[in-house]
């Protein structure tokens, strides 16, 4: 006859729990299935810091006006995104605005693909399909990153807010990816 075993040391938080891994995997597969083609450039903080002088440290930017933020090579990542609904309505009226976008990214899958956490200042490109042969590539800059979707006392996703960048903000290597799909 089976006797139930009474738990005498409950473990509330287990970071390597198979339940967490299953929930994260299911979430990442759902995001990957609905993701557009996205390239991600992470800011290389150490290289950027070493290229700045004392005046740049005070103001937090290059004093001479030259863009000296250095980015790592791009990686393909998977996201779920949502455009701001007000901007969609304004676009229907013919008013062109800078696009603001909200992203949902699975933490484990993103670290597997990009090797570093997302941070403000990162740039990514989303390719929107316009027709069978034509794509619209839009670059965005991350403004904030917030962990969301608590499961078993551990977060599954990041919620990111980003806005469209101008071509002046992009580096020359990013401009090479302007039309590349």
Other C-beta atoms closer than 10 Å to the C-beta of 124 total: 26
Mean pLDDT across 92-117: 89
Of residues 60 and 169, the one with the higher pLDDT is 169
Which residue intervals of 60-154 are DSSP H helices?
85-92, 107-114
In this predicted model, what pLDDT tens digit does every residue of 146-162 receive, in sequence order? 999 888 778 899 999 99
Tell me the longest C-alpha to C-alpha distance in the chain.
Answer: 80
**In which region does residue 95 sit, left (phi positive, over 0), alpha (psi from -120 to 50) or beta (all else)?**
beta
In this predicted model, what pLDDT tens digit does every residue of 35-93 receive, in sequence order? 999 999 999 988 777 766 666 666 666 555 555 788 999 999 999 998 877 777 777 77
Query: What's the predicted TM-score (pTM) here?
Result: 0.81
> Is the Cβ–Cβ distance between 71 and 123 less than 8 Å?
yes
Q: Give the SS3 label for residue 90.
A: helix
Domain boundaries, the chain: 18-41+72-175
In this predicted model, what pLDDT tens digit does every residue of 119-131 receive, in sequence order? 999 999 999 888 8
Q: Residue 112 and residue 119: Cα distance in Å, rounded?
A: 16
Please name the fold of domain 18-41+72-175: Pnp Oxidase; Chain A (2.30.110)
């Amino acid at each position: 006859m089976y006797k139930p075993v009474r738990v005498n040391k409950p473990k509330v938080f287990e970071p390597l729990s198979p339940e967490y891994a299953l929930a994260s995997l299911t979430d990442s597969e759902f995001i990957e299935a609905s993701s557009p083609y996205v390239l991600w450039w992470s800011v290389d903080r150490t290289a950027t810091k070493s290229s700045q002088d004392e005046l740049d440290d005070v103001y937090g930017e290059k004093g001479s006006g030259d863009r000296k933020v250095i980015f790592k090579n791009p990686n393909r990542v998977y996201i779920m995104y949502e455009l701001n609904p007000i901007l969609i309505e304004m676009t229907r009226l013919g008013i062109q605005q800078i696009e603001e976008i909200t992203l949902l990214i699975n933490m484990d899958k993103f670290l597997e693909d990009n090797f570093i956490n997302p941070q403000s200042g990162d740039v990514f490109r989303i390719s929107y399909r316009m027709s069978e042969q034509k794509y619209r590539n839009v670059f965005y800059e991350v403004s904030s990153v917030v962990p969301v979707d608590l499961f078993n006392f551990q977060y599954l996703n990041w919620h990111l807010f980003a806005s469209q960048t101008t071509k002046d903000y992009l580096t020359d290597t990013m401009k090479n990816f302007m039309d590349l799909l």
